[in-house]
């Protein structure tokens, strides 16, 4: 993968900002396009990372591109549901309506399908009254779907509806879809802003420190791990096994481990392990049970996929459908100890869909509100083909192409993984030594 350059982080704009902002803030509260947020807080010489890599800082601008009285915005939510979707929708609507005076806001139903007239999904009008209490609900009031539609058809719909701004809320596939819409808009020379808001429980969006829904997922996974620990302690040689979301990255598993000091083994996609052999996972687990008579294991859904055979299937968004590592581990653990004639009691917990469907917790609600407001600031200033992210606890503008160029993963050499190893006491490596 090539090293990113300063140009990779340059934000596209629709043109000159000629309208004064209606926000009436003191001058000190507005941001300038010249203010940058450095990518690296620490730059070891051996990394080769250029020290000029930086993000444009998010926030309100003194001059804006769109005339609020003539502006029409739309919001679309795509992909799997996540805590905080309704919080973001509400924040966008409230900011547009009350702060910028944008009166015409539409909700696109069921993802990008709602931008294809062939699907017969009429947009719904969004007002402060219609979104007033939606942050107390899980899911998305607009509905969602996976998969892409023809960008030419979607842009035709935007033109027909008179849309000036489209907010696309979703994960990697959604953002790729937003980029092709932005490309089609640019090809036609249309003044339409395309703004993404990164949504993935897995927290694996590149060049973004955290995505909404992640804090809620960690909190709920923590609850599941507490239950697993109680179950494990309640039986001789008891094992509590919890599977959490994390298709390519183990951030939920790692952070839930650190929030729950009773986890003994954390298995993530970034750190391969073996099942059989001296020093492999089952051998290590056996030694643990002989010594302590119970164990708690958390596994990310994307871990251990090398144990499965067969062609990889994909969902409508192009994501690989992983095999069920949780059920596989449960069965392998059961077989292993049966062969050893060592009785165990194993309890398997998979809270994945419960986590996805609940309302956001307080931390995520605050974060979602910030994301929504900053997305509106960026859109009204004519920014496009970008997402709102956060880096070094500051909100940033990130071009969509660079953020979808790679998945964020846990480095086995990182402080985060070191903390997991210290918390669990598990070996640095559980690869077979024989």
Binding site for ATP, by residue number, is 80, 146-147, 171-174
The answer to whether the beta carbons of residues 44 and 432 sit under 8 Å apart is no
- 333's enclosing H/E stretch is helix 325-339
Phi/psi of residue 423, nearest 5 degrees: -70, -45
The answer to whether the beta carbons of residues 217 and 244 sit under 8 Å apart is yes
DSSP assignment letter at 271: S
The answer to whether the beta carbons of residues 176 and 210 sit under 8 Å apart is no
The answer to whether the beta carbons of residues 273 and 432 sit under 8 Å apart is no
Q: Is 34 left (phi over 0), alpha (psi -120 to 50) or beta?
A: alpha
Quote the CA–CA distance of 330 and 326 in Å, as a whole number: 6
| 67 flagged as catalytic | no
Q: Which of 8, 52, 202, 204 is catalytic?
A: 202
Tokens 């819409």 locate to 181
Phi/psi of residue 194, nearest 5 degrees: -115, 115
Per the annotation, binding residues for substrate are: 200-202, 245-247, 301, 353-356
* 30: its two tokens: 């507005």
Q: How far is CA 267 from the centre of its chain?
A: 20
Q: Which residues of 33-48 are buried (b: 16+ CB within 10 A; e: fewer)?
A: eeebbebeeeeeeeee
Q: What is the CB-side half-sphere exposure of residue 220 using CA atoms within 13 A? A: 26
The answer to whether the beta carbons of residues 346 and 334 sit under 8 Å apart is yes
Crossing angle for the helix pair 151-161 and 172-188, to the nearest 10 degrees: 70
Question: Widest CA span of the chain, in angstroms?
Answer: 78
Q: How far is CA 207 from the centre of its chain?
A: 12
The answer to whether the beta carbons of residues 63 and 336 sit under 8 Å apart is no
> 391 to each of 296, 348, 394, how far by Cα in Å?
33, 36, 5
The Cβ of residue 118 has, within 10 Å, a number of other Cβ atoms equal to: 9
Per the annotation, binding residues for Mg(2+) are: 172
Per the annotation, binding residues are: 80, 146-147, 171-174, 200-202, 245-247, 301, 353-356
Catalytic residues: 202
């Amino acid at each position: 993968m090539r090293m990113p350059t300063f140009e990779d982080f340059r934000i596209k704009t629709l043109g000159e900002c000629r309208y004064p902002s209606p926000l009436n803030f003191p001058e000190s509260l507005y941001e300038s396009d010249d203010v940058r947020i450095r990518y690296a807080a620490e730059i070891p010489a051996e990394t080769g990372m250029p020290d000029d890599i930086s993000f444009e800082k998010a926030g309100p601008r003194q001059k804006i591109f769109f005339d609020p009285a003539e502006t029409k915005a739309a919001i679309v939510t795509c992909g799997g549901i996540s805590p905080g979707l309704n919080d973001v929708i509400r924040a966008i609507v409230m900011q547009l309506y009350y702060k910028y005076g944008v009166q015409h806001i539409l909700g696109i139903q069921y993802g990008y399908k709602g931008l294809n007239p062939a699907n017969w999904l009429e947009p719904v009008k969004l007002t402060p009254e219609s979104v007033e209490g939606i942050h107390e609900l899980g899911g998305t009031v607009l509905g969602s779907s996976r998969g892409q539609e023809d960008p030419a058809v979607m842009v035709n719909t935007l033109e027909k509806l008179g849309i000036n701004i489209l907010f696309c809320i979703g994960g990697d596939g959604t953002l790729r879809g937003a980029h092709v819409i932005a490309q089609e808009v640019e090809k036609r020379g249309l003044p339409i802003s395309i703004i993404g808001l990164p949504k993935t429980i897995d927290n694996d969006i590149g060049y973004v420190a955290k995505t909404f829904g992640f804090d809620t997922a960690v909190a709920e996974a923590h609850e599941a791990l507490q239950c697993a620990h109680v179950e494990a302690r309640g039986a001789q040689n008891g094992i509590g096994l919890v599977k959490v979301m994390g298709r390519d990255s183990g951030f939920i598993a790692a952070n839930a481990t650190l929030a729950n000091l009773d986890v003994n083994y954390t298995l993530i996609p970034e750190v391969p392990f073996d099942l059989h052999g001296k020093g492999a996972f089952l051998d290590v687990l056996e030694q643990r049970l002989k010594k302590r008579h119970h164990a708690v294991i958390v596994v990310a859904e994307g871990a251990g996929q090398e144990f499965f055979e067969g062609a990889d299937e994909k969902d409508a968004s192009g994501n690989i459908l992983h095999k069920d590592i949780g059920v596989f581990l449960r069965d392998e653990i059961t077989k292993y100890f049966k062969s050893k004639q060592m009785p165990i009691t194993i309890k398997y917990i998979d809270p994945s869909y419960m986590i996805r469907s609940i309302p956001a917790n307080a931390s995520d609600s605050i974060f979602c509100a910030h994301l929504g407001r900053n997305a509106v600031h960026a859109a009204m200033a004519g920014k496009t083909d970008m997402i709102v992210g956060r880096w070094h606890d500051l909100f940033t503008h990130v071009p969509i192409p660079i953020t979808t160029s790679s998945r964020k993963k846990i480095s086995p050499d990182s402080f985060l993984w070191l903390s997991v190893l210290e918390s669990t006491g598990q070996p640095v490596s559980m690869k077979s030594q024989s």
